[in-house]
Amino acid sequence: MKHLKRWRQERLRKAKTKDYSYSVPSVEPDLEFLHQNESTPSLTWVGHSTFFIQLAGMNIMTDPVWAGQMAFQRRLTPPGLPIDDVPPVDIVLISHSHYDHLHIQSLRRLQGRKQLLVPAGLRTKLRLKGFANVRELHWWESVVIDGIRITFVPSQHWTRRNLWDMNSSHWGGWILEPVEKDSQDPTLYFAGDSGYFPGFKEIGSRFNIDIALLPIGAYEPEWFMGPQHVTPEEALQAFEDTGAKWFVPMHYGAFKLADDTPREALDRLENERDRRGLDEERIRILPHGETWHCPNRQNNKREQE
* Residue spans per domain, the chain: 32-304
Radius of gyration of the chain measured on its C-alpha atoms? 18
Residues 6+ apart with CB under 8 A from 121: 136, 168, 169, 170
Give backbone dihedrals phi and psi of 200, rounded to 5 degrees, phi first. -60, -40
CA distance 193 to 215: 7
Asked if pLDDT for residue 15 goes beyond 70, the answer is: no
Tell me the CATH class for 32-304.
alpha beta
Region of poorest pLDDT, from 87-91, 183-187, 294-298: 294-298
State what percent of residues in the chain have pLDDT above 70: 92
CA angle 289, 154, 167 (to 5 degrees): 95
Taking the mean position of all CA atoms in its chain, how far away is CA 296?
Answer: 20
| pLDDT value of residue 173 | 98
> Over the stretch 131-171, which tens digit does the pLDDT of each residue have?
999 999 999 999 999 999 999 999 999 998 888 888 888 99
Residue among 298, 253, 259 nearest 6 (CA):
259
Which pTM does this prediction carry?
0.93
Contact 175, 208 (CB under 8 A): no
